Amino acid sequence: MKADGTIVARKLCKSFGSHQVLRGIDLTVAAGEISCIIGPSGSGKSTLLRCVNGLETVDRGVLRVNGEDFGYVEKDDAYHAVSPQRLAEQRSRVGMVFQQFNLFPNMTAESNVMSGPVLVKKVDRKVARERAQELLAQVGLAGCGHKYPAQLSGGQQQRVAIARALAMDPSIMLFDEPTSALDPELVGEVLAVMRDLAHHGMTMLLVTHEMAFARDVADEVLFMDEGVAVERGDAREVLANPREKRTQEFLERVL
C-alpha cells in the first residue's frame, strides 16, 4: 500500500496534567479518504488533530502519518522525540486550517501563502509567488493577492488560509471547525473549496458541525465523546443510523 497521505492511530493517549484528554483513540484514514470527526465540545477533537500535525506530542499509542511514526521514535519501550529538523519535515507534509484562520495580519494574502515555502522550504521568492497566485486562483481569490486579511471577509480569509496550507504541498489536510467562526452566508464558499479538494484526492481529516457536508463528502465519520472514539463507520450509515446511544443523543441535538 502506498503510505503517502495515510493516517493511522492506535490506542492513542494524551493527557494534560492529570486530565486524560485522549483515551486510546483508534483511527485509520487511507490515502485520498475524507474522514470527519464529530462530537461535543471538550471531547478531544482538536487535541487529536493537533497530535496529527505535531502541535502536541502523544503520550502513548501509535501514530503513523504518511507511513512513518510521527514525531517520535520508539526505543527501549520509551518514546523519544525526533530531531526538530525531522519534525519540521514531517509537519510540513500535514496542512492544517484552524477555526480562526490564523493569517499573519501584517502580510498580504499573497505573502501569507508564500511564507511557508519561502521561510521553511527556502523556495525562490519568484517561484513561490507564482505558486501563491495559482493557489489563490484555485480557492477563487485570483486578484486578491495584494489585500491584507482585514480587507477580506471571513470566508475569503479562510480560503487564503487553505491556500497557505496547500502551498507546502501537503499530502494530508486537517481542518478544525473551519467554518464555525463564519457568518452563515460565508460558509458555503469555504465548503465549496474543501469539496473541490476532496474531489481531487486530497486526504482530509476534519472536525466539523456541518452534518450535511459530512454526509455528502466524508467517507468515514468518527464520533468522539470524553476522549473516546465511541463510534466509527461509513459516514452516511453513522449519521443516518447511529448504533451507539451517545451518538444518537448527540445527533439528535445537532441535526
Q: Residue numbers of the site for Mg ion (CB under 5 A)?
A: 45-46
Q: Does 18 bind ligand ADP (CB under 6 A)?
A: no
Query: Are 247 and 223 within 8 A, CB to CB?
Result: yes
The CB-of-66 to ligand ADP minimum distance in angstroms stands at: 23
DSSP 82: P
Who's near 40: CB < 8 A, 6+ residues apart?
Answer: 225, 250
Residue closer to Mg ion, measured from CB, 15 or 92: 15
How far is it, in rounded angstroms, from Cα 23 to Cα 38? 16
* 16 vs 104 by CB, closer to ligand ADP: 16
- Smallest separation (angstroms) from ligand ADP to the CB of 207: 7
Contact 9, 62 (CB under 8 A): yes
What residue has cell string 462530537? 39
Q: Which x/- pattern, by CB under 6 A, does the window 19-38 give for ligand ADP?
A: x-x-----------------
**Grid coordinates of 30:** 487511507
Residue 142 DSSP one-character state:
T
Alpha carbon distance 82, 67 (integer Å) = 15
CB 173 within 8 A of CB 164: no
How far is residue 94's CA from residue 54's CA, in Å, rounded to a whole number?
A: 9
Cβ(4)–Cβ(49) under 8 Å? no
Give the x/- contact pattern for ligand ADP in 36-65, rule: CB under 6 A: ---x-xxxxxxx------------------
16 contact, one of ligand ADP, Mg ion, none, CB 5-8 Å limit per kind? ligand ADP
Binding partner at 247 among ligand ADP, Mg ion, none, C-beta below 5 to 8 Å by kind = none
Least separation in angstroms between CB 45 and Mg ion: 5
Residue 122 binds which of Mg ion, ligand ADP, none (CB < 5-8 A, kind-dependent): none
Please identify, using beta-carbon distances, which residue of 40 and 67 lies nearer to Mg ion. Answer: 40
Binding of residue 16 to ligand ADP (CB under 6 A): yes
Interface residues toward ligand ADP, by CB under 6 A? 16, 19, 21, 39, 41-47
